[in-house]
Amino acid sequence: MTFPFTLRTVCFLFLAAALGRAGEPPIVSPEVLPDHRVTFRVRAPRASEVQLWGDWMAPNTPEPMTKEDGGVWSLTVPSLEPGLSIYTVSVDGVTTPDPVNPRVKLRARTSASLVSVPGNPPALWEARDVSHGQLTVHWLKSSCLGDTRYFVVYTPPGYTPGASTRYAVLYLLHGSNDTPLGWTDVGKANFILDNLIAAKQARPMVVVMPWGHAVPFDGPQDRNNELFEQYLLQEVLPAVQRDYRVRSDRAHRAIVGLSMGGGQALQIGLGHLDQFGSIGAFSAAVPSHFEERFQEALKVPDSTNRKLRLFWIGCGRQDGAFDSNQALSALLTRCSIHHTFDAAEGRHNFAFWRRQFAELAPRLFSGD
């Protein structure tokens, strides 16, 4: 079998990294230093150029690595914010996860690596000695999409299937090129809620994390959000109502998302105010022709404001989506739609989205 050049190169890179030359010590990558700087290393003796990109950097701005003895390339980056960050390496133009790092971030099309910088004391999104909720992978055959796919459900500590208590429910949506596990693999939404619930700072809630790519990621995307909306409302939501002890009224149902999922949350939430009482969008891909598409909600602010318990928009100032999110907030203000616009420091990454979720979660269903 003849492999494409890129696959052959990647296979060689992984094999070389794993084995090295006889007698060579294994390399360590990533190496988190006491001051939270991180050193990355790649063994690629035949390469002419090796670069590294991390989600703490601006888009499309990889940094060159330096070749050292033994064909090992290295780069030490400034202190990273505690938490998980995503990064890739590029060897002579071939982008790949870090060959010696077992912590891989699976995505819709490409994979990357994860580096974990611990907090001291442990950050809100780290595991603490508290009661933990459960994560369940729920498979569902979709008539809307013509396949069988899964969504992930977080049930809070104390949730018992046979009991009578019913919980508020949050539909939490991921970004482009991600999977339903993105919010728990890197976003750590489950640990954030565990810790907030243990501190009595957030209401126990059920969280549903569906797959937001309704069409293949490498195909035409023009109908993705439309099909996802059908899938969520016609199939996922009824299945959750049937199989989990969640409340069915608008006031106890929220929809929140990041990036692509932020745009989906805006579209679905504002388009179905009879079903969702809270909306949150982080670094949202703001739907096009927003004022025209949602004129029904914008032209009757008193009615819209009565229906929405919470409307949150957050975006980092260093994020490429900041201008469009700021413009959306200005439009909502002109239309007298009550909302919170959190313009904070941050890029388009999970470091920012974890902070956003930690800010928003205590506010969800807080008046109960």
In a domain, residue 241? The reply is: yes
In a domain, residue 368? The reply is: no
**Co-location of 176 and 288 in the same domain:** yes
**Co-location of 223 and 336 in the same domain:** yes
**Co-location of 93 and 195 in the same domain:** no
In a domain, residue 122? The reply is: no
**Co-location of 294 and 192 in the same domain:** yes
In a domain, residue 110? The reply is: yes
Alpha carbon distance 205, 208 (integer Å): 10
What are the mean pLDDT values of the chain's consecutive 10-residue runs (368 residues total)? 42 49 79 96 96 96 94 96 96 95 91 94 93 97 95 96 92 96 97 98 98 87 93 98 96 98 98 97 96 95 97 97 98 98 96 98 90
**Co-location of 76 and 174 in the same domain:** no
**Co-location of 44 and 87 in the same domain:** yes
264-to-80, 100, 163, 217, 227 alpha-carbon distances in Å: 30, 36, 33, 16, 11
pLDDT, tens only, 337-355: 999 999 999 999 999 999 9
In a domain, residue 127? The reply is: no
In a domain, residue 159? The reply is: yes
pLDDT, tens only, 187-203: 999 999 999 999 999 99
**Co-location of 245 and 352 in the same domain:** yes
Q: Which of 175, 327, 182, 191 is nearest to 257 (CA)?
A: 175
**Co-location of 108 and 179 in the same domain:** no
**Co-location of 152 and 83 in the same domain:** no
Q: Which of 206, 116, 119, 202 is nearest to 154 (CA)?
A: 206
Query: The tokens of 191 are what?
Result: 């640990």
**Co-location of 113 and 147 in the same domain:** no
| Domain ranges, residue 289 | 134-363
pLDDT, tens only, 24-54: 788 999 999 999 999 999 999 999 999 999 9
**Co-location of 227 and 332 in the same domain:** yes
The number of folded domains in the chain is: 2
In a domain, residue 63? The reply is: yes
In a domain, residue 126? The reply is: no
**Co-location of 141 and 263 in the same domain:** yes
- Domain end among 117, 152, 171: 117
Check which CATH number belongs to the domain holding 150 and give it.
3.40.50.1820
Alpha carbon distance 132, 190 (integer Å): 8
Angle at 28 (CA atoms; ends 24, 33), nearest 5 degrees: 140
